[in-house]
Amino acid sequence: MYEDEFDNRNCDRCRKIECICHKPKPEKEEKKSKCHKVCGNILLNDRTSIVEIWNNRSSFDTIVTASIFNSAASTSSIKVVFFLCNGDTAEIIVPVGNTISTSIEEVCFIQVSRVDGSKVDGRFCLDICFLNAYLNGHND
C-alpha cells in the first residue's frame, strides 16, 4: 500500500512503528537513452570504393562511438566520414594495421572509403545511443 491508499485499521500501528503504508511509491528509473551495437566487415576494392555503413533513420539525437579496424592485409588507409545532422562533417583516417575509436554526437550517417591503394579489408563496430528515445515516450 502507498501513502495515498492505506488501511485505516493499521493507522494506530503505523504511527508507532515504521510501516509500508506510509512509504512513498518507488519511482521508476527513467532511461534517457537506448543503445544498440552494430558491427560489420569493410571490404573495399576496385569495384567498391565508398560504402555507407550506417544511416540514422530516426528523429532522435544520437551519440555514436565508432571503432574502425584496418587489417594489415589492406593496401590502403580507411577514411571514415561522419556526416552530422547540422551539415558539418568529421573524419578520421585509419592506417593499415591499426584501429581507431571515436565518439561523435548528432550523426546522421557514416561512410567509409579508400584513401589510396586498391584494397581495404577491415571491420567496424558502432555503439549507437539514441538520447531522447525514452524521454519522448518512445520505447522502440
> Which tens digits make up the pLDDT trace of 111-136?
999 998 789 999 999 999 988 755 54
User: How many whole angstroms separate alpha carbon 126 and alpha carbon 139?
Assistant: 21
Residue whose C-alpha cell is 573495399: 44
**Local confidence band at 4 (pLDDT 50, 70, 90 cut-offs):** very low
User: How many whole angstroms separate alpha carbon 62 and alpha carbon 133?
Assistant: 10
**pTM, 2 dp:** 0.71
Instruction: Give the list of residues 6+ apart from residue 89 with CB closer than 8 angstroms, or none.
Output: 81, 82, 83
